[in-house]
Amino acid sequence: MLKLYHGPAAANGLKVLIALHEKALDFQRVYLDLHRFEQHEPWYVAINPDGQVPTLVHDGFVLTQSSVINEYLEDAFPDAPALRPRDAQGAARTRGWNKYIDENYMEAVSMHGWKFRLSDLTRQMDPAEFETYMQRIPLERQRRKWRAVRAGFPDEALAAAIVKVGEALDRLELQLTDTPWLAGGQYTLADVNFFATGGNSIERLFPQLLAGDIRPRFRDWLGRINARPAVQAALATPAQ
C-alpha cells in the first residue's frame, strides 16, 4: 500500500502526485495544512524528521525527498508507465536535469512563492504564537526561512533568485529547441520536476520573465504538460 503525506498540490508534493497519477498507482492521501504548521506536529515529525512534505510510505517503508520518491516509484513499479528512460543516457539526462532543478531552481522559485503566499499570513500572527510554532520546527534552516519570510526576505536575495529563475528558463528554452522534452524525446521526471517546482506559478510570481512573446517554447511545453490528464488530476487534489 502507498500512502502519501502532502500539502497543497504545489511544488514538491505536486511532483510526487503527478508521478503517482502518471503511473496510475493507487494511493491513500493524508493532507497536512502547512499554513497551520501541521507538518511540524510531533506525530508527523516522527514519520518525517525534517517536518516537511511530501513523505511516501510504501508497505511500511518511509521515503522522504520528492526526487528520491519519484525515482523509487520508477524502480519499485517497473510495469507502470515509465517516467525515466530505460537507456543509461536518457536516465542520466533525466537525473542531470533533476539535480539542476533541485539545487538551483527550486529554492529560487520557493523564496518568491513563500513571499507571495506567506508574508501576510506570518505577519498577522501573534508574535508569541508564531514563536511557539517556530520552536517545533526541526530544521534550523527552515526555522530561519519562516522567520525571514515574516521579517521580509532581503531585496538582494530576492533579486538573485529572479536571476536564477531566468537562467533556468533560458536553459529550458535552449533544450526545447533541440528536443520536445527536457531529457529528449520522452516526457520524464525532469519535466515533472520543472513543472511542479515552478511551471504554472512562473507567470504569477515572475511576470517580467514572460513579458511579451519571449520564451515561446516554455509556454508551449507548459501547455502540453497542463493538458495531460494525470497532471490535471494531480492539480485537482483536494486541500483536505
Task: Report, in Å, the least distance between residue 53 CB and ligand GSH.
Answer: 4
Burial (Cβ within 10 Å: 0-12, 13-18, ≥19) of residue 158: middle
- Alpha-carbon span 61 to 1, nearest angstrom: 10
Sequence-ordered alpha helix ranges (H) in 55-188: 66-76, 88-100, 106-123, 127-136, 140-151, 155-178
CB of 196 to ligand GSH, least distance (A): 9
- We find the least distance from the C-beta atom of residue 149 to ligand GSH, in angstroms, to be 10
Angstrom distance (rounded) from CA 174 to CA 178: 7
Helix (H) or strand (E) holding 61: strand 61-64
- Position 200 contacts ligand GSH (CB under 6 A): no
Build a one-symbol-per-residue string for 24-53: x at contacts with ligand GSH by CB under 6 A, - elsewhere: ----------x----x------------xx
Instruction: Report if residue 193 touches ligand GSH, rule: CB under 6 A.
Output: no
Interaction of residue 198 with ligand GSH, rule CB under 6 A: no
Could you tell me which residues come within 8 angstroms of residue 65 by beta carbon, excluding any fewer than 6 positions away? none
What is the CB neighbour count within 10 angstroms for residue 155?
8
Going by C-beta distance under 8 Å and a sequence separation of 6 or more, which residues neighbour residue 105?
164, 165, 168, 194, 197, 198
Q: In the set 4, 9, 12, 194, which binds ligand GSH (CB under 6 A)?
A: 12
**One symbol per residue from 60 to 99: x for binding ligand GSH (CB under 6 A), - otherwise; what is it?**
-----xxx--------------------------------
The piece of 59-67, 128-136, 162-170, 222-230 that touches ligand GSH (CB under 6 A) is: 59-67
Burial zone of 135 (CB within 10 Å; 0-12 exposed, 13-18 middle, 19+ buried): exposed
Instruction: CB nearer to ligand GSH: give 215 or 231.
Output: 231
Q: Which of 4, 5, 7, 192 binds ligand GSH (CB under 6 A)?
A: 7
Please state the closest distance from residue 79 (CB atom) to ligand GSH, in A.
Answer: 25
Regarding 13 and contact with ligand GSH (CB under 6 A), the answer is yes
Tell me which residues touch ligand GSH (CB under 6 A): 7, 11-13, 34, 39, 52-54, 65-67, 142
